[in-house]
């Protein structure tokens, strides 16, 4: 005789299980949810921005010279671009809905200013990129050479235009201009008064140049890592040797430029968002500030509270004052203790900034080393260097994300600098249960999308390995190795 469990008991157990889950506050859960979704989305958005110029180069070279090396590179990276574009679209659409579900008060207050640029992004940039990408993916034998080359240029224009409008919105939130606060129906809202001042606000040129160049660096490292892998697999592959030489030279130029531009960008941040600059250096007391080149926590507590006395540091005395003021080492830097509003999460900003800068110098070293071996003519034979490139392939995206965390987390507690705090922008009707459960759903769902993307890219790599004439082979003794079966020219 089997025991029957009443339906009401199942409902009670589920309710008890839900009740035991530690729910986060609506504000914290919403911040983590948006941070997580944009972390995944920005990987694919940056892939499009950074890969687009490379596709233009190889496509134009293919059309101009008829060289099969460029056709082969174009075919491989266009497929990666296409999958990344789909993933970027899928991961980006829910973010628009979050403005309504999680940050309803934010939408009410500044929706008039943000709606226009975001609409331009969809109607102008997205459709241009999507239609042109269709030609680039499927039109090689269906359109003329010139039109095909033009499609690659239009894809790049669409990708960079999309970043333009998104960064117009984000930079306005950092340094808002061209608006006035009015009362409508008893609610304070921001009304657009000067579109030029709002769109071309002081932060926009800094952020746009820095972000676009960071995307190029990230993709260049990815191209270099993949090229290093295929060159080690088959050193006779002219296509991947070409990609490798191109990548290391571009890496040196763009990473060196990023260091110079980042230094000037830091001074702009010190002028416009001094609390963010103080958090980048964990500078609490107003006065002259040192620049910590190396910071190592001396105990676990120092990780979450990175004050100078808690760290082993290698610092340049008064260098942070010098950078913030544009040349005066005795200049005072306002400490976090002297701001009227609460500090941002200092530990996240401090360590993210150090990781970003440290990786930036590593990229310069990699680019310089590779360019030197390239000039010597033995780049493809530098096995240890090729292994380092393979290991460094994802680090460009790590640097890009940590830089983004410095930008976004460093401006807390503000959603819109000096206008709207994050706590004031959360939807008033949102409950802890709703916010926490949707956060869990987005974490699981986006992890699944990341896994799917990596599996598809692995398939592309396997197909290219077959084209290189390399694959697992059973020997007579039953073991396997991965030596080239034959050297296949790049047609």
pLDDT (tens place) for every residue of the chain, 491 residues total: 444 555 555 555 555 655 555 688 999 999 999 999 999 999 999 999 999 999 999 999 999 999 999 999 999 999 999 999 999 999 999 988 898 899 999 999 998 888 888 888 888 888 999 999 999 999 999 999 999 999 999 999 999 999 999 999 999 999 999 999 998 888 889 999 999 999 999 999 999 999 999 999 999 999 999 999 999 988 888 999 999 999 999 999 999 999 999 999 999 999 999 999 999 999 999 999 888 888 888 888 888 888 877 888 888 888 889 888 878 888 899 999 999 888 899 999 999 999 999 999 999 999 999 999 999 999 999 999 999 999 999 999 999 999 999 999 999 999 999 999 999 999 999 999 999 999 999 999 999 999 999 999 999 999 998 887 665 444 434 444 444 444 444 54
Q: What is the pLDDT of residue 68?
A: 92
Q: What is the pLDDT of residue 1?
A: 41
Q: What is the pLDDT of residue 157?
A: 96
Residue 424 dihedral angles phi and psi, to the nearest 5°: -80, -15
Q: Rounded to an integer, what distance in angstroms lies between the CA atom of residue 229 and that of residue 208?
A: 32
**Residues near 486 by Cβ (< 8 Å), separated by ≥ 6?**
469
Virtual torsion, Cα 138, 144, 145, 150, nearest 10 deg? -70
Q: What is the pLDDT of residue 391?
A: 97
Q: What is the pLDDT of residue 489?
A: 46
Longest dimension (CA), the chain: 87
Q: Rounded to an integer, what distance in angstroms lies between the CA atom of residue 196 and that of residue 490?
A: 50
Please name the helix (run of DSSP H) or strand (run of DSSP E) that holds residue 421, with its range, or none.
strand 420-421
Cβ atoms of 231 and 243 closer than 8 Å? no
Q: What is the pLDDT of residue 488?
A: 46
Span between the terminal Cα atoms of the chain, in Å: 74
Count of other CB atoms within 10 angstroms of residue 304: 13
- DSSP structure class, residue 326: T
Q: Which long-range contacts (CB under 8 A, 24 or more apart) does 137-142 make?
A: 137/78, 137/79, 137/82
Task: Identify the residue whose tokens are 């260049």.
Answer: 220
CA angle (146, 147, 151) in 5-degree steps: 120
Retrieve residue 370's tokens.
């590779």
Cβ atoms of 461 and 478 closer than 8 Å? no
Question: Is 400 exposed, middle or buried, given 0-12, 13-18 or 19+ CB atoms closer than 10 A?
Answer: buried
**Residues near 32 by Cβ (< 8 Å), separated by ≥ 6?**
24, 439
Cβ atoms of 244 and 224 closer than 8 Å? yes
Q: Rounded to an integer, what distance in angstroms lies between the CA atom of residue 418 and that of residue 273?
A: 10
């Amino acid at each position: 005789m089997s025991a029957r469990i009443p339906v009401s008991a199942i409902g009670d157990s589920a309710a008890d299980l839900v009740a035991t889950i530690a729910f986060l506050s609506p504000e914290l859960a919403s911040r983590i949810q948006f941070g997580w979704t944009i972390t995944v989305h920005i990987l694919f958005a940056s892939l499009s921005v950074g890969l687009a110029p490379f596709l233009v180069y190889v496509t134009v070279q293919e059309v101009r010279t008829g060289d099969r090396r460029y056709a082969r590179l174009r075919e491989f990276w266009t497929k990666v671009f296409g999958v990344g574009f789909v993933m970027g679209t899928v991961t980006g659409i829910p973010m628009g809905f979050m403005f309504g579900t999680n940050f309803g008060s934010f939408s009410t207050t500044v929706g008039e200013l943000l709606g226009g640029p975001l609409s331009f992004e969809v109607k102008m940039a997205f459709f241009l990129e999507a239609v042109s990408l269709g030609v680039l993916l499927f039109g090689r034998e269906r359109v003329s050479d010139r039109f095909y080359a033009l499609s690659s240029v239009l894809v790049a224009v669409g990708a960079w235009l999309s970043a333009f409008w998104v960064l117009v919105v984000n930079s306005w939130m950092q340094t808002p201009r061209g608006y006035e606060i009015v009362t409508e129906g008893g609610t304070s809202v921001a009304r657009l008064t000067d579109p030029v001042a709002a769109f071309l606000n002081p932060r926009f040129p800094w952020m746009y140049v820095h972000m676009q160049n960071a995307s190029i660096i990230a993709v260049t490292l990815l191209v270099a890592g993949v090229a290093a892998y295929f060159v080690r697999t088959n050193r006779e592959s002219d296509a991947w040797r070409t990609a490798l030489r191109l990548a290391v030279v571009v890496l040196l130029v763009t990473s060196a430029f990023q260091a110079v531009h980042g230094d000037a960008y830091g001074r702009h941040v010190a002028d416009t968002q001094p609390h963010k600059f103080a958090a980048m250096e964990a500078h609490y007391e107003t006065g002259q500030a040192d620049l910590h080149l190396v910071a190592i926590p001396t105990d676990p507590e120092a990780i979450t509270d990175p004050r100078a006395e808690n760290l082993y540091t290698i610092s340049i005395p008064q260098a942070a004052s010098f950078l913030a003021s544009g040349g005066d080492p005795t200049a005072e830097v306002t400490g976090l203790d002297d701001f009227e509003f609460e500090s941002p999460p200092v530990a996240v900003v401090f360590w993210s900034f150090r990781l970003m800068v440290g990786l930036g110098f590593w990229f310069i070293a990699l680019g310089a080393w590779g360019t030197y071996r390239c000039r010597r003519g033995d780049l493809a034979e530098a096995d240890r260097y090729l292994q380092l490139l393979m290991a460094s392939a994802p680090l460009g995206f790590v640097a890009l994300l940590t830089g983004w965390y410095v930008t976004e987390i460093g401006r807390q507690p503000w959603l819109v600098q000096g206008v709207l705090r994050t706590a004031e922008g959360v939807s008033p009707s949102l409950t802890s249960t709703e916010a926490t459960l949707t956060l869990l759903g987005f974490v699981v769902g986006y992890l699944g999308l990341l896994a799917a993307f990596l599996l598809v890219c692995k398939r592309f790599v396997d197909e290219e390995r077959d084209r290189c004439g390399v694959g697992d082979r059973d020997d007579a003794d039953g073991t396997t190795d991965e030596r080239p079966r034959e050297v296949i020219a790049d047609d």
